[in-house]
Amino acid sequence: MWGSPARRRHTTDHQPLVDPFGRAITYLRVSVTDRCDFRCVYCMSEDMAFLPKRDLLTLEELDRICSVFVGKGVRKLRITGGEPLVRRDIMTLFRSLSRHLETDALDELTLTTNGSQLARHAADLASCGVRRINVSLDTLDDGKFRRITRWGDLTKVLGGVDAAQRAGLKVKINTVALKGTNEDEIETLLGWAHERGMDLTLIEVMPLGEIDSERIDQYLPLSLVRARLAQRFTLTEIDERTGGPARYVRVTETGGTLGFITPMTHNFCESCNRVRLTCTGQLFMCLGQEDAADLRAPVRASESDAALEQAIVAAIARKPKGHDFVIDRRHARPALARHMSVTGG
């Protein structure tokens, strides 16, 4: 696809990536852009300043870094943003990375999207070997959707979900639980998703980046949500794992699966198998810590992957045991200054 692989010989060994706590790193989340066509109230401010395009990794550089990770034992790649489908020529990257699916070096190539551009890309994604995707959707109410996303069009998102299912993609809905905003709609979202054969995962608000309101006013503990749901539904713990941080239950009444991502009330650090690559080439070993490794410099310094591999191995050796997220009135400022759209959602 881009150049000849023979020009970049891997000079280091291919031992799997294992962090200081014995966790094998098999999952890489890759942000291809910090830009988004929404301005969700819990994610970013309305007047966002985005990175200059010259600071972003090229699609070829993203492919190269991902491929080195695959060579070091990563089995799952998730493309994220911002909104990944607004990146120009993004399907070129999917088509190139699909070669790792064909050789069985990679188990899964997937993405998280807000669904706004999904209608025109769904068939191409399926042809690249993408089998399932996550769609971020916090409400089925038009007015509420506009208030949450500021710029979003619910009709386009629902059309994107339709297109994805027609293309044979398995869709999982990700919903951020927002106090006083959509907490009265969670049962409705659950019924809608399961009726269409889609799983639903609920996510707690995380303290990343400055926004235009206080996160304590948005924060809804999923322990409370789960207790409310248990009054109406039979929730049975299951061992299902998709490579991410969610814990799952089976909802007897619907037959569907419900996930909970709870970084605040019950963090998932003990089994963390993930690292995150930003669109500028910074590798974050933990979503909730500032420590990052620069992979852009080695990837641009040489056509050989040796320095890049060494930088990755050194970074994994610094992966911390867990994050320190806190949301309460004493912690008014975000735990981290960077927005989720920069790190990768």
Radius of gyration of the chain from Cα atoms?
20
- Rounded CA-CA distance 115/85 in Å is 9
255 is in an annotated binding site: no
Q: Tokens 């990794």 sit at which residue?
A: 57
Residue 36 is labelled as binding a ligand:
yes
Is 274 known to sit in a ligand binding site?
A: yes
Q: Is 248 annotated as a binding residue?
A: no
Is 78 known as a binding-site position? Answer: yes
43 is in an annotated binding site: yes
29 annotated as belonging to a binding site for a ligand: yes
The reply to whether omega before 168 is within 30° of 0 (cis) is no
Is 172 annotated for ligand binding? yes
Tell me if 42 is assigned to a ligand binding site.
Answer: yes
For residue 286, say whether it is annotated as part of any ligand binding site.
yes
Q: Which two tokens stand for residue 76?
A: 């799952």
Burial class from Cβ neighbours inside 10 Å (0-12, 13-18, 19+) for residue 149 reads: buried
In 3D space, the residue among 303, 277, 334, 325 whose CA is nearest the CA of residue 66 turns out to be: 277
**Is 66 among the annotated ligand-binding positions?**
no
Whether residue 206 is annotated as binding a ligand: the answer is yes
Angle (nearest 5°) at CA 97 between 130 and 176: 50
279 marked as part of a ligand binding site: no
Amino acid occupying residue 241:
R
On whether the CB atoms of residues 154 and 142 are closer than 8 A, the answer is yes
| Binding positions for S-adenosyl-L-methionine | 42, 82, 136, 206
Could you tell me which residues are annotated as the binding site? 29, 36, 40, 42-43, 78, 82, 112, 136, 172, 206, 269, 272, 274-276, 286
Binding residues for GTP: 29, 78, 112, 172, 274-276
Annotated binding site for [4Fe-4S] cluster: 36, 40, 43, 269, 272, 286
